[in-house]
Amino acid sequence: MSDAASKPKVYKPRPVTGFPEWLPEVRLIEQQWFDHIRRVFESYGFCSIETPSVEELDVLRAKGEVDKEIYVIERLHKDENDKSDARLALHFDQTVPLARYVAQNFNDLVFPFKRYQMQRVWRGERPQAGRFREFYQCDIDVIGVDNLPLHFDAELPAIMWEVMNGLPGMENERIRVHISNRKILMGFLESIGVSDEKTCREITTAIDKIAKSGLPLFYQSIREIFEKLPDHDTQEILVKMQEFGRIADLYKSSDELRDKLTHSEFIDTSHQTIREGIEELCFVMDNLSHLPEGAVVADLSIVRGLDYYTGTVYETVFLDDPSYGSICSGGRYDDLASSYISKKLPGVGISIGFSRLFARMVDQKKIDTSRKSPAEVLVMMPSEEQRPHIIALCRTLRENGLKVEMYHAAKKFPDQLKYASRKGIPFVLITEEDGTHKIKDMITGDQSEVDPKTWTPPTRKALDHVA
């Protein structure tokens, strides 16, 4: 009832920085990505869970370091007198909610608990190039009670390899999974007399930064760490770290790794922690031997910054774009939910930074955006009198599993064809005056007579994005 002529000056809406949003043709591929990831996760028996977008602020704050990135939520017109509600905040990852979920539902879950979770998370960062404040993460974790077999440490990289190599648009990307085991480095540090937890953490942080900042800065960091510690000879430590650097190489198989380390003069393979780390890493590599050569490497320079990892650690990189950093990463941890439950819950998990990866492929125009509609066929409407017949025709096609748009009005055929073309609908069904039907392939322009009761698109497999 409003009248365009009398409208007030309009307000041009703008996108909110850091909160991605896609056009339909891009969203269609995003859905294909989610479908593919879900299909792979489920093919390994992982179940889906979703947690609320919010947790109590105290639950989130337990992981103090990201404090400043937390978004709290508040009712616009809250009752100032009402203190009944705990303060709520949007979750910034899916690990804290998983810990709360597992502790809360402990008696209803079957362990090892294999779950995947694909939800939005929020980080209240200052908007800057490539940083999202709302984004999807796709996580898988396996949680055990008291212990968790190494089997799962080997299963996750195989899953990630399969995920990464099936994403539409990623066909030409060369991906490599790097795997290490923190016990090797931790054991090495122990063996050279460094066992103080804080110092170990500072060293792993420094190692984690080598790829970004380079070796000279790394050695400077090590110097700074040990110059504060009078018990250690900084120069000697530096020599030892350089020695470790010589074995921190890439290994394509457990044989290569075992061979190099047992013959290395720089590492004491009889040291218990080191030996455990090597054995675990070799087990993981052996169980991934079915993957193509070079898909997975043991890489002792990988440590991951987060200090809750205790064994296997993973990173996945673009071979031709190392500056992107890790596409998906994760590792093994000793105890998921120690603040909530007195059971020990070891786990292993990997997380894909979905939105950042997807946005990269969109920016690089590597995804196909030719289809603005999921419809596989547009059914043309020849005349108003034919409407009941056309409705029935569409129903028949849908019953055969097709995605069908019925054109809404008896416009001229060229107009209807133009509509199909603009939406990127690949086929058009034409009903002739004599009652026969023709399919027009909108890409080749070919037309052929068909029986709508049995017709399916010749390229159906390629079109059907819900497998």
Q: At what angle do helices 182-191 and 272-286 cross, to 10 degrees?
A: 160
Cβ-defined contacts of 29-32 (< 8 Å, 24+): 29/168, 29/169, 29/367, 29/368, 29/369, 30/358, 31/465, 32/168, 32/465
The β-bridge partners of 138 are 118, 352
Nearer to its own copies, 38 or 366 (CB): 38
* Smallest gap from residue 151 Cβ to its own copies (A): 4
Tokens 């922690």 — which residue?
273
* Smallest gap from residue 216 Cβ to its own copies (A): 32
Max intra-chain CA distance, the chain:
97
Nearer to its own copies, 195 or 220 (CB): 195
* Smallest gap from residue 13 Cβ to its own copies (A): 5
Nearer to its own copies, 247 or 377 (CB): 377
Nearer to its own copies, 53 or 234 (CB): 53
* Smallest gap from residue 264 Cβ to its own copies (A): 26
* Smallest gap from residue 346 Cβ to its own copies (A): 11
Q: Are strands 134-143 and 328-333 parallel, antiparallel or unpaired?
A: unpaired
Nearer to its own copies, 186 or 247 (CB): 186
Task: Please answer whether residues 192 and 310 qualify as being in contact, where contact means their C-beta atoms are separated by less than 8 angstroms.
Answer: no
* Smallest gap from residue 189 Cβ to its own copies (A): 14
Nearer to its own copies, 133 or 318 (CB): 133
Closest among 411, 400, 450, 410 to 427, alpha carbons compared: 450
Task: Please answer whether residues 260 and 232 qualify as being in contact, where contact means their C-beta atoms are separated by less than 8 angstroms.
Answer: no
Nearer to its own copies, 184 or 247 (CB): 184
Nearer to its own copies, 69 or 279 (CB): 69
Helices (H), 364-459: 387-399, 413-423
- Chain centroid to Cα 370, Å, comes to 24
* Smallest gap from residue 404 Cβ to its own copies (A): 6
Tokens 């020990």 — which residue?
344
**CA gap 170, 40 in Å, rounded:** 16
* Smallest gap from residue 124 Cβ to its own copies (A): 4
The amino acid at 52: P
Helices (H), 126-268: 151-164, 182-191, 197-208, 210-213, 215-227, 234-247, 254-262
Other beta carbons less than 10 A from residue 306's beta carbon: 18
* Smallest gap from residue 441 Cβ to its own copies (A): 18
**CA gap 216, 13 in Å, rounded:** 49
What does the buried/exposed string (b/e) look like for 326-360 if buried means 16 or more CB atoms within 10 Å of the residue's CB?
bbbbbbbbeebbeebbeeebbbbbbbbbbbbbbbb
Nearer to its own copies, 100 or 176 (CB): 100
* Smallest gap from residue 336 Cβ to its own copies (A): 11
Nearer to its own copies, 36 or 258 (CB): 36
